[in-house]
Amino acid sequence: MLVPKNNASFMRTKILIKIAESFFADRFANADRIPLELRPKEMNPSRCCIYKDRAVLKYRCMAGMGACPEEETDELKTLKSYGEDALSREELPKSKLSVIDIACSACIKAQYMVSNACRGCFAQPCRLNCPKEAITMINGRAHIDPEKCVNCGRCHDVCPYHSIIKVPVPCEEACPVGAITKDEFGKEHIDTEKCISCGKCLASCPFGAIVERSQMVDVLKQLHETENKVVAMLAPAVIGQFPGNPKNLVAALKKAGFDEVIEVAVGADITTQKEAAEFIERQEKGAKLMTTSCCPAYYRAAKVHIPEIQPFVSDTHTPMYYTAELVKKDTPNCKTVFIGPCLAKRVEAEYDPNVDYVLTFEEVGAMFVAAQINVEESGEEEFSKISCAQGRQFPISGGVAGAVQALVGNKADYRPEKIDGLSKENIKLLKRYATKGCENNMLEVMCCEGGCVSGPGCVALPAKATRAVQNYVATGEQLTPETKVGEK
């Protein structure tokens, strides 16, 4: 999900830091000052006025405390009260992406427009290639009739001057499954029945109007207000997300209050072993295709939007599942916290009794800042269990299929292909592969382009994170069918 850093994402991080600082300072007694601190009077407003800015910030703070802005009807309820609710709740709210109504800019409907670069050329390929005859030449320039235009984009594709531009609705454009649409007032709404929780709309909205319920306060409460043993399960994509090396990060997490830290790459090693065996078994039974993915957003997409591919989806569980299973087997009464780049993992965790909480790298970074923990200066400590090289490569595109291939070896004909990003086009491709077949018999499906290192909860640039993961992979031992995972 190659979305550049911007003011909306910076503000999201600032809000999380402020919420964590408020927890540490006085358990949210003065939480209502957060919008005022983030938008003081002397600052120029980003919307119509500073008071609307503060109102939007309040809603975003509510989401950071685990509330859903769309479901809250009491506008007089204070952030202090929302903080108290977060500290007192025993059960996590269901994960949900939602739109802050007053923050949504009600972008105009996606359309194609002619810019002033149009030269009114003699060739007129835009007009001649329009299937609806929606383009005419007026005063030496092309003109698109919006009543006739069907947004097919052919004029855009053939214009020799690139003078025809597409004006998108960013959140709708980013959603691969059409789960976000306008109401009669032009405001966006997310259809929870269609949503796959990939977070692409959240990352793409220029106004920061889309939010997701955070579990950060719930984890802070477990770390600082209970006697429970809390275990951090670090997704392989964490490499390169924070300053310092992995051992520094383990030490920093223990400073933050975690009792133990384990690599989810250990669970990825188990996934690799089981998936290799599953692929070989399917091939022996004559299966034409199998898909591999650790992404719950893909599983949801396959179930709801690509039923044709469902029979070919691997039955093997994700690395998070196997890691949590190992942890709970060793320490049954502990609390497990998966730390990763993905919002959809919160949904997966709702169906996994061994995963208690899910945090993003962004949320953990906010906790570090609020607690004044410098990762590089935290010393060094080891993971409780060490993974192999194959498990560590899962978060980059091609990593999962490559790991499985290493164990399949010459036991079966293995022809992989990467579906790098769950886009509208790639969903059509998966439908075609499922119904008409393809030359490959193993499809690795990544929801985020480039892999999990591009997830909506990441804090590092994808290219930098990819190099860091590759370097870390090189330090691991090779997984073999005889490796006893989780015992090193």
* Average pLDDT, integer, range 300-312: 97
Tokens for 476, please give them. 């691991």
* Average pLDDT, integer, range 296-306: 97
Residue 481: the pLDDT is: 79
Q: Looking at the chain, how many residues does it have?
A: 488
Residue 1: the pLDDT is: 41
Residue 110: the pLDDT is: 82
Is the confidence at residue 172, as pLDDT, over 60?
A: yes
110's CB contacts (< 8 A; 6+ apart) are 151, 166, 167, 168, 169, 172, 173
Is the confidence at residue 283, as pLDDT, over 80?
A: yes
Residue 433: the pLDDT is: 96
Q: 268, 390 in Cβ contact below 8 A?
A: yes
Residue 483: the pLDDT is: 79
DSSP string, 378-413: S-----SS---HHHHTTTSTTHHHHHHHHHHTTSS-
CATH architecture of 111-167: 2-Layer Sandwich (3.30)
Is the confidence at residue 320, as pLDDT, over 90?
A: yes
Domain boundaries, the chain: 7-106+172-214, 111-167, 218-473
Return the DSSP state at 174. H
Reported as a single tens digit per residue, the pLDDT across 400-409 is: 999 999 999 9
* Average pLDDT, integer, range 426-430: 97
Q: 479, 407 in Cβ contact below 8 A?
A: yes
If DSSP codes are grouped into helix, strand and coil, which group holds residue 373?
coil
* Average pLDDT, integer, range 230-238: 97
362's CB contacts (< 8 A; 6+ apart) are 12, 13, 16, 457, 458, 459
Q: 447, 436 in Cβ contact below 8 A?
A: no
pLDDT tier at 281, thresholds 50, 70, 90: very high
Is the confidence at residue 2, as pLDDT, over 50?
A: no
- Of the chain, the end-to-end C-alpha distance in Å amounts to 34
* Average pLDDT, integer, range 66-82: 94
pLDDT tier at 487, thresholds 50, 70, 90: low
Residue 27: the pLDDT is: 98
Is the confidence at residue 46, as pLDDT, over 60?
A: yes
Is the confidence at residue 212, as pLDDT, over 80?
A: yes
Fold of 7-106+172-214: Alpha-Beta Plaits (3.30.70)
How would you label 377-409 residue by residue, b for 16+ Cβ within 10 Å and e otherwise? ebeebebbbbbbbbbbbbbbbbbbbbbbbbbbe
Residue 486: the pLDDT is: 62
Q: Cβ of 372: how many Cβ atoms within 10 Å? A: 9
* Average pLDDT, integer, range 390-400: 95
218-473: CATH class: alpha beta
Topology alike, domains 7-106+172-214 and 218-473 = no
pLDDT tier at 4, thresholds 50, 70, 90: low
pLDDT tier at 3, thresholds 50, 70, 90: very low
Reported as a single tens digit per residue, the pLDDT across 177-204 is: 999 999 888 899 999 999 999 999 999 9
